Structure 1
Amino acid sequence: MTPHVHRPVRWAVGGTAVCLTAWLVVAVLGPSAAAPPLGAGVGALDLGRHPSSATVSVLMALSVLAGGAGLAGGVLAVSRGWRPRRFLVLAGVGALLLVLVPPVGSADHLSYAAYGRIAALGGDPYSQPPDTFAGGTDPVASAVRDPWRSTTSVYGPVGGLLMALCSVVGGDSVRTTVWAWQVLLLLAWALVAVVGHRVLRDVGDEGRERAWFAVLFAANPLLLTVGLGGAHADVLAGAAAVLALVLAARSPVLAGVALAVAVGTKLPYGVVAVGIVVAALSVRPAARRPTVGWLLRGVLAALVVLVPAHLWAGVHVYDQTRTASRFVSLATVWRPLVEAGLPRVLLLPGTALVVLVVAVLWWPVLVRGGELQRAAGASAVVAAGYLLGAAYELPWYDLLLWGSLALAVAAGPRSARLLVLVLAARLTLLALAYVPGLVDGMSPVVQAVTLGYRREVGPWVAWAALLAVVVCGVRARRSVAVS
């Protein structure tokens, strides 16, 4: 390994190791301002030490910053020819350990457990909030934390059914139910990592595509901690979306099923369908492959999963999703504008405008290469625009982006790698804004620091990232046009 490659490799490996270690320490210490108590049960082991909010905040901030450095180091190393192998072992061991300890960074997993419990016992998680189910006395549903106690499910019916399955496994135990969900997410992550690695064996040359996929997605330290380590539903949706991309050319039926799981868990993951259709229409006719029949098989496979799931959930399955579309989180470009009086009715058109601008600038840069790369590039462009312009954005939502970006960047020009670094910096600073994670349990000092950063710094980080993507996109588009 040459010296100019060795240094970023050390950053990648060292940053990832520190990121995973610090996150695991927070989890194993027990309930805190970063991890709600889970009660008795099997799995998700912790020491029950109840560390202070300051301790867990410092450790989580260290984890996030180290993860950002590790991700940036991996990008630079792969750009210079690094082909990670043992690095994947480090990430794999880290992923396994993350599932043996409680989730960290939010209380979302308690909501998943509650919605699954309601469904498993014959209730309706799309109309019954956790605080009213069984008179508010159910041992699992009542564990949900503020501000989601009185909120019905915002997740799609496929995700809802999988939550119910985990509830069947966990029974009356919150800890066991959450652990069953964590194992499900680990299996989804491992499946997409293995399938992606095998499919990319036949794509490109010298393992470059595999290297990008490993560094940006399968072994991305921020996705492993913030996503898998937080046990978020986006891990399931993100893994299924990437499976749909990598399987589309080989098996439209399996790709359709995977896409149904993604969309049926969280609607925004439907951007992958845009990429697959774009690739089919632009590549398949030139390759003299059947297009209509191929697309039809994928659509029918998706409907075989989605139709029964929606019939089970009912017509009101997206009521809470429509309500949530009016929410505005703190660390977004829209927060200062809404506080200044911008009508919320303009949020959706504003997000669409950002998507359009990002697509116009980055489409010719990222949507190129073969069928897989074009599908991934189109998905990544739309996902990036959506995340940059969304009114409600949290760090783990980035799982919508990084899988498709990992599959597209190898076929793109060098300017695409600058985009990756900008988005990596954005994800790092956004994740830092949501340390330690829970809305209660923070000391006054920690609350002032974390909410101050989230309110006062977060929106300007979002604006800086959007402007950087636009400026880099203008330059990248010009360079592509010249070449």
Structure 2
Amino acid sequence: MSQPDSDGGRRGGRLRTGLLVTSFALLLLVGLSLPNAAASDLGDRGWAPGTLLPFTLGPALVTVAMWTAYTLGAAAVVLSLARRDGELPRAVVGVLAVAAALTTPFGSGDHVSYAAYGRILSLGDNPWLESPQGWRGGTDPVVSRVEAPWTEEPSVYGPFATLVQGFTSLGGGDNLRETVWLWQLVVVASWLAVRWCLRRLLPGRAARIDAVWTANPLVFSVGVLGAHVDLLATALGVAAVWAAHRWVGTGGAVLAGALAGLALSSKFTYAVFVLALLLALGARRLGRVAAVVLSAAVVTGALHLWAGPHVYEQLGRSARAVSLASPWRWLLEVSGGGVGVRMAISVLAALMALVFAVCLARLVRPRLGPPSAPDVGPSALAWVVVLAGGYALAASYSLPWYDLMVWSALPAVAVGAVDAVLLARLWVMAVAYTPGRVLGMTPGVEDVTMAVRTRVAPLVLLAAWAWLLRSAWRGGSVPRRAGRPGGSAPRR
């Protein structure tokens, strides 16, 4: 390599590092400062970590800091993918994990809802029937802190996630901050577990794993710093793929099915991992396919029997919801709304998800029924990209943390148009849902952020749709001479 090329490579590396450091620093600044428009006030810290920075950020400053962090972070991801390097030292990963555990979760008030549902369960009542506002007269020190617009909503989460939330409630008791911090530890451990599994599933791809997962400020913010239940479900799903990949016999399939069942029982959309495993195993492995299905059914069935018939009762209503940031919202508003229109949008979104899944499959080219055992894990992850990516892009109701399962699987596929489309979506969704809470904003900040959410985000998502369709029409971003699709990267 020539000297100018070496100098250019070093400059590119320094630029990427600078972008990452700045992005992570801005995000941690929001999470380590006093309560603000993005971060809820969790009250007395008890024995949990308290706020480390003795100042607060105004709504405008919080919004600018998060938008800047997301934009710089997206640029850093682009550079990392272009350079195809950037594996993080273990010490840096540890520092990020510790820093995340010291923050107050921000970007939504969901973590307070998790604490409330866990509290209701731990005290013997049914969180799928009880609303936070109505439970015990709205006087409980934890449950009463749930924020709008979720004060009247029973849980929509699965029994396993709610069970974990119940255990964190037992540890935190009457103290909201302690309960949330224990949940944060679960989330941070899940983020680390995904990296651990991916490094064993995809040898030779450590740099790509860190580029799209560990050192991706957008994933880190919406998942880890946001303390979302999706990260727990993602870790369980990736662990299921790892189990099927690590142990090729029936025992591995049983463990994979059980873990996938736990993921599904955390959030229903994570049934994608079950389907991806079945597609990766293929018709020639009927014994392992049956073991995965039966194991997942037993685990899921047992948890749902324990939780009762009201689990996921609200999914029907959720299916008719339409996000403000979605292009489908424009159709809803132009047509005048109504239940019939919402149902029609749900059907159209499902059809578009199939179209996008076909496009992603053309780009990713996952293998059906791989002939050799080592392909099972990478192939299953590639199918997660196809199925979950199609759903995330087309769904009428979607939020940025819904993308976590897609990004956990993305290291299994080659660099190409899929990265660009999914990064554009994640970036604009993260920006659109900043600062994320409905409380604490000034009228001016609310006007600006709502304009981005309702006008800019749908346009960018439409552009991402067009980009995906065009890329698939042109024949895919993975050259056919590039080795086994979905498999381990060739050693350099």
| TM-score normalised by the chain length of structure 2 | 0.89
Q: Deviations over 1:94-142 (max 9, x none)?
A: 2320111100111000000000000000011101000111111011100
Q: 2:349 aligns with which of 340, 347, 351?
A: 351
Aligned residues: 460
Structural mapping, 1:48-447, within 5 Å = 49-78=55-84, 82=85, 84-86=87-89, 89-201=91-203, 207=204, 209-249=205-245, 250=247, 251-281=252-282, 285=284, 291-341=285-335, 343-368=341-366, 370-407=375-412, 409-410=413-414, 416-447=415-446
Q: Give the Cα–Cα distance (whole angstroms) in 1 for the partners of residues 254 and 16 of structure 2.
A: 37
Asked if residue 28 in structure 1 is aligned to residue 32 in structure 2, the reply is yes
CA deviation after TM superposition for structure 1 residue 222, in Å: 1.0
Q: Is the 8 A contact 2:244 2:376 kept in 1?
A: no
What is the one-letter code of the residue matched to 2:40?
P
Q: Deviations over 1:148-201 (max 9, x none)?
A: 000010111111111111111110000000000000111122222123213333
Match of 1:449 in 2: 448
What RMSD over aligned residues (CA atoms) do the two structures have, in Å?
A: 2.1
Change (3 A) 1:479 1:169: closer
What is the one-letter code of the residue matched to 2:434?
V
Q: Is the 8 A contact 2:364 2:478 kept in 1?
A: no
What is the one-letter code of the residue matched to 1:316?
H
CA deviation after TM superposition for structure 1 residue 233, in Å: 0.6
Q: Is the 8 A contact 1:42 1:179 kept in 2?
A: no
More moved, 119-128 vs 357-366? 357-366
Change (3 A) 1:179 1:478: closer
Q: Give the Cα–Cα distance (whole angstroms) in 1 for the partners of residues 458 and 140 of structure 2.
A: 39
What is the one-letter code of the residue matched to 1:72?
V
Change (3 A) 1:451 1:358: same
What is the one-letter code of the residue matched to 1:387?
A
Q: Give the Cα–Cα distance (whole angstroms) in 2 for the partners of residues 390 and 24 of structure 1.
A: 30
Change (3 A) 1:376 1:146: same
Match of 2:486 in 1: none
Q: Give the Cα–Cα distance (whole angstroms) in 2 for the partners of residues 8 and 153 of structure 1.
A: 46
Q: Give the Cα–Cα distance (whole angstroms) in 2 for the partners of residues 85 and 144 of structure 1.
A: 37
CA deviation after TM superposition for structure 1 residue 257, in Å: 2.5
More moved, 334-343 vs 174-183? 334-343
More moved, 362-371 vs 159-168? 362-371
Q: Is the 8 A contact 2:240 2:256 kept in 1?
A: yes
CA deviation after TM superposition for structure 1 residue 368, in Å: 3.5
Q: Give the Cα–Cα distance (whole angstroms) in 2 for the partners of residues 456 and 37 of structure 1.
A: 30
Match of 1:474 in 2: 473
Q: Deviations over 1:359-388 (max 9, x none)?
A: 222313313463222212222111111111
Change (3 A) 1:4 1:346: farther
Change (3 A) 1:480 1:146: same
Q: Is the 8 A contact 1:366 1:374 kept in 2?
A: no
Q: Is the 8 A contact 1:154 1:318 kept in 2?
A: yes
CA deviation after TM superposition for structure 1 residue 68, in Å: 0.9
CA deviation after TM superposition for structure 1 residue 471, in Å: 0.9
Stretches of structure 1 that go unaligned for 5 or more consecutive residues are 202-206, 286-290, 411-415
Asked if residue 17 in structure 1 is aligned to residue 21 in structure 2, the reply is yes
Q: Give the Cα–Cα distance (whole angstroms) in 2 for the partners of residues 481 and 361 of structure 1.
A: 16
Q: Deviations over 1:371-422 (max 9, x none)?
A: 2222122221111111111111111111021112222x13xxxxx5122022
Q: Give the Cα–Cα distance (whole angstroms) in 2 for the partners of residues 469 and 135 of structure 1.
A: 50
CA deviation after TM superposition for structure 1 residue 451, in Å: 1.0
Match of 1:204 in 2: none
CA deviation after TM superposition for structure 1 residue 11, in Å: 4.1
Secondary structure of 1:356's match?
helix
Match of 1:413 in 2: none
Q: Give the Cα–Cα distance (whole angstroms) in 1 for the partners of residues 7 and 290 of structure 2.
A: 51
Q: Deviations over 1:23-69 (max 9, x none)?
A: 11111111111111001123242145332111211211121112111
Q: Is the 8 A contact 2:70 2:430 kept in 1?
A: yes
Q: Is the 8 A contact 1:43 1:176 kept in 2?
A: yes
What is the one-letter code of the residue matched to 1:401?
V
CA deviation after TM superposition for structure 1 residue 7, in Å: 4.3
Q: Give the Cα–Cα distance (whole angstroms) in 2 for the partners of residues 436 and 44 of structure 1.
A: 23
CA deviation after TM superposition for structure 1 residue 14, in Å: 2.4
Change (3 A) 1:180 1:373: same
Change (3 A) 1:357 1:122: same
Stretches of structure 2 that go unaligned for 5 or more consecutive residues are 368-374, 483-492
